[in-house]
A and B are shown apart, each in its own frame.
Chain A
Amino acid sequence: MLKPADFVNAFEIAREQQARAILMLGPGAHSLKPQALRELANAVFSGSIDLAVPRYTLPPHSGLINSAILYPLTRALFATRTRFPLTIDLGLSIRMAERLATVGKRFAAANQDDALLWPVNEAAVAAFQVDEVEVGTRDVPQPSDPDINAILQLVTGSLFAEIESKATFWQRPRRLPAPRLQLDETLLSDGTADVPRMVEAFRLANSNLQEIWCLVLPPNSLLALKRISALDAGMFRMPENLWARIIFDFVVAYRLRTINRGHLLGALIPLYLAWVAGHLNVTASGMPSERHIEAVAAAFEADKSYLVARWRWPDRFNS
């Protein structure tokens, strides 16, 4: 992934070389086709786009942390349709590069080299033009630690920290731009083999993690979780509005440090597995994956006022 220091270095060299635009590429970029590189670069050369973000075609049932949390949360709060806000490759105008370098220096000074999910949000805050470029398939770099717990904590923690630092921006109402790229309506192959294991992990957590979840989630969410825990694995679903509220409540608990942040994000994992199980069942039943993810994102947008209210008056949530 691109690190804050990469943006600092890139801008310095771009200034030295008097470049007009920058293409930043991460590990696995050799798998991007020449046309993808050209279109990414041309987007920022056009002069009207400051940040060109690739939209990748990923293998079925991959990138689900992004689909479940990063994309819908970023879209609802920062009013951007960027499907992959965890950036691996980017096209930058010079003014975008300068802004990212300034912020990158701040991260470096604060020893926050693990900040991952900020360039797209930074463009939104600066009111710079962001556009997506379809680049097709790409080899996605595999994390050094493939443990789902570690990955979820790293990327979700990074986004939650971003949300905390940009609270004055996202609390205001923002209009989401109209979709420009077509929704991929491809039906995916059945991926439900792991669903019973995921549902079982969720049920176990629903018994064992009540004490922690009670500190984070309001009673009506706990009741809804209890209800879905009784569903058979094959019928299991996580309602979109329940999922949006769960994530919003975890964002607030992260901000308030209701419990240790590591423990908090650890308590999110069985809930995420429950979302994945539901998503796999939904897609197996014939709904295109992207259509379901759009429905999830729409639920986050529709309920954004809940997060704003909880952010401003966190003590009221039990009433």
Chain B
Amino acid sequence: MTTENSTSAETATIDLTTADLLVVGSAIPPEEFEAVLANLAEAFPDCGTTAARSQCARKSAHH
């Protein structure tokens, strides 16, 4: 099942398309994944925090 902008305690994915980097979080609770996204946005400032949630985080998947 694929959903938009959602995370899962099982597996969640986010692709930073501007960096061609796929980031996969495994067994990360949603609130922790939010913190990971914030850190990723800081790590890749071209995306920015907002972008990490709207443009870069275009797609996440539940497995």
Contacts and interface: CB of A to CB of B under 8 A. Distances in A.
B17 A34 contact: no
B1 interface: no
A128 B40 CA distance: 26
A2 B61 contact: no
A232 B17 CA distance: 61
Contacts, number: 91
A140 interface: no
Contacts of A9: 11, 13, 24, 61, 63
B26 interface: yes
A43 to B, nearest CB: 12
Interface residues of A, number: 30
> Which size class do B's interface residues fall under?
20 to 34
B21 A45 contact: yes
A14 B27 contact: no
Interface in A10-42: 10, 13-14, 17-30, 32-35, 37-38, 41
Given A5-B63, A6-B11, A25 B23 contact: yes
Interface of B: 11, 13, 15, 17, 19-29, 32-36, 39-40, 42-44, 59, 61, 63
Q: Which 3 A-B pairs have the closest CB atoms?
A: A30-B35, A19-B22, A34-B42
13 contacts: A6-B11, A10-B24, A13-B24, A14-B22, A19-B20, A21-B21, A21-B22, A23-B23, A25-B28, A27-B29, A35-B43, A38-B43, A41-B43
